[in-house]
Structure 1
Amino acid sequence: MPFDVRLPIGLLFLAIGLLVAGYGVMGHVPLSAGVNIDLVWGAVMAVFGAIMLVLAALARRGDLPPPPEA
């Protein structure tokens, strides 16, 4: 089976997203226009990482076609 780049990208974005969102939850950063940017973008990165992990798992199971070869 060829190397699927979605797995390490998913793990990276999930880990960094959780760290940034956790930092936003702690509230150490002043709000920008009333929005906690660290919390919002940390959640966005964590969701993107989770989507990449789901796609990697589906590809490994055979539900998705393999990515094109370079």
Structure 2
Amino acid sequence: MADTHKAGAFDIRNVIGGLLAIYGVILTLMGLFGDPETEKTGGVNANLWAGLGLLVVGLGFIAWSRIRPIVVPEHVEPVGDDPTRPAPKKRPRKGH
């Protein structure tokens, strides 16, 4: 079996999950300790419920990245001539 390692912190699911969880904590704290302003939201503490929802989704992303990590192979074969890939554009040389 080839040598492999996990994407770890570079897995985009960790970044998204972390950001959502941070915003979820902030909104949950605002819902608990701030002015709920329920008259604007029809009697619902919107900050609290949105914060709890963001926490659940953010922790779900982090759990997903832990349960099914992205495995990065140590060695990747270079791509050969692929007719479906466009060739790089050549820049004209100055002075020629």
Q: TM-score range by the shorter chain?
A: 0.7 to 0.9
Q: Which residue of 2 aligns with 1:30?
A: 37
Q: Distance in 2 between matches of 1:11 and 1:44?
A: 14
Structure 1: runs of 5 or more not aligned: 61-65
Unmatched 5+ stretches in structure 2: 1-5, 71-96
For residue 29 of structure 2, give the secondary structure of its aligned residue in structure 1.
Answer: helix
Give the counterpart letter for 2:35 in structure 1.
H
Shift of 1:29: 3.3
Structure number having the greater strand percentage: 2
Q: Aligned partners of 2:32, 2:17: CA distance in 1, in Å?
A: 22
Radius of gyration: which is bigger? 2
The answer for the alignment partner of 1:11 in structure 2 is: 18
Normalised TM-score (structure 2):
0.58
**2:65 aligned with 1:59:** no
C-alpha deviation, 1:57, in angstroms: 0.3
1:38 partner letter: N
- How many residues align? The count is 61
AA at the equivalent of 1:35: V
Aligned-residue RMSD, C-alpha: 1.4
- Between the two proteins, what is the percent identity of the paired residues? 26
Aligned residue identity for 2:55:
A
CA distance in 2, matches of 1:4, 1:56: 7
Instruction: State the distance in 1 between where 2:27 and 2:64 align.
Output: 23
